[in-house]
Amino acid sequence: MIDPFIIYLLYKHPELAPWIILAGMILTGFNIPISEDLLIVLGGVWSASFVPHKAIHIWLCLFIGAYLADMVAYWTGRLLGKKLLVWRFFKDIITEQRLEKIHKFYDKYGLFSFLIGRFIPFGVRNCLFISAGMGKMTFKRFLLIDGIASFVSTSVGFSIIYFLDRRYHFGKHLQDLLDYISGYDKVLIIIVAGCAAIFGTIFFIRHKLKKKIRNKQQEKPLPIEAHQFNSVSDDL
């Protein structure tokens, strides 16, 4: 739900594109469901087709945002450690198996694990940086390695999309689509708000039911083992 909102903001406020992209990139470090790869694509498209005079600013915001997001993930792992494995917000992304694989990968490839990891979405990217913090990698070393990896990944991704858009004009087709959709702003807002309300209500009810079931299970009396019953009978 957040990614379409970012596209909407970029469309309505193209002059603010660097700051919108910077904010979105930083939020990815907090495991907010925003696609870093989509932001890089949008940055390239907007730089080529919508605000070409802000291309450098957008690229800088992509790099700085990615770098800051990685620091957030690093310090999350460094300060919270193994607690993340049981937190609902992180436990689907950070597992013992994934952490073990990442540690082995890092031991084997070092700097290249960060370079490769930055191109892998679906939670692997953040898990890599969180595991670096959990593994007590020194912050200076992390800054050096991740600085290089962030610079390379954002520069490569941004450059590819920018030059492809300059050649094939993806932005022009996107603008035509957004111009068409913008005529239905109020309808879209109502639909999005309605979907958010429905999913929010479902989530709230599920949470309450799970909590109720958990409390009932905790209230159940523990069964008396046979040997405990016999010992009680002997005492009587």
Lowest mean pLDDT among 29-38, 112-121, 189-198: 189-198
Phi, psi of 194 (to 5 degrees): -65, -45
Instruction: Classify the C-alpha dihedral 133-87-108-113 as positive or negative.
Output: negative
pLDDT of residue 109: 78
pLDDT above 50 for 232: no
Per-residue pLDDT tens over the stretch 80-129: 888 887 777 676 677 778 778 777 877 777 778 888 888 887 677 888 89
- Please check whether residue 106 is in contact with residue 146, taking contact to mean a CB–CB distance below 8 angstroms: no
Measured in whole angstroms, how far is the alpha carbon of residue 126 from the centre of its chain? Answer: 7
Instruction: Report the half-sphere exposure of 181 (CA within 13 A, side-chain side).
Output: 13
According to DSSP, residue 1 is labeled -
Q: How confident is the model at residue 181 (pLDDT cuts 50, 70, 90)?
A: low
Compute the distance between CA of residue 47 and CA of residue 53 in angstroms, rounded to an integer. Answer: 7
pLDDT of residue 218: 64
Per-residue pLDDT tens over the stretch 137-150: 899 999 999 999 99
| CA nearest to 84, candidates 122, 133, 36, 125 | 133
Compute the distance between CA of residue 180 and CA of residue 165 in angstroms, rounded to an integer. Answer: 20
Q: What share of the chain has pLDDT > 90, as a percent?
A: 38
The whole-model pTM stands at 0.75
Most confident of 74-78, 122-126, 204-208: 74-78
Q: How confident is the model at residue 233 (pLDDT cuts 50, 70, 90)?
A: very low
